[in-house]
Structure 1
């Protein structure tokens, strides 16, 4: 699943909506756009994902982007193992972002993917 969180930082007003959506869709992996720093990253994991499905979620290593908004990867521990995070430098001007490459392994098949 991919989800633009619209500049999500430490915003309690939207948590119940995110919780309802995640609860209905039941994704195993989520890439989120427009996460505001490590605060938004942790807040979404702790106050959205782990409320809907306690202790089932983890997140890939967080990396601050060159722009003011970041992206984040969350995954269910029963299905995926985290391998690595790498930054591919592509940002050339204000407002553009580098690419984040995550490597995970599918637990059941042992297949690694990016």
Structure 2
């Protein structure tokens, strides 16, 4: 691609994009979905390049950054008895982390709204 791919960036102020819905004449008719252009592509029918990239990604992904698989909270019978305490601790930590992330996002959104 090289360094000459991006020639200019235009930063728009908040609210500069028109968010009004298009007129009814421009909207697709309800219930009429666009027909697929060809057969559906799956991992099995994908190109060799895609499969190589997917395999390279799998090799490069650090398992420490992946969320461990956990059974659904709604069915504790699926959790082995000796792992229930550890699972409860894991879920509590996950809820704390999610709550902290949500709180930070809310604070940031409020700060951005008051600055605008």
If the length of structure 2 is used for normalisation, what is the TM-score? 0.22
Larger radius of gyration: 2
Which has a greater percent of strand?
A: 1
The structure in which a higher percent of residues are helix is: 2
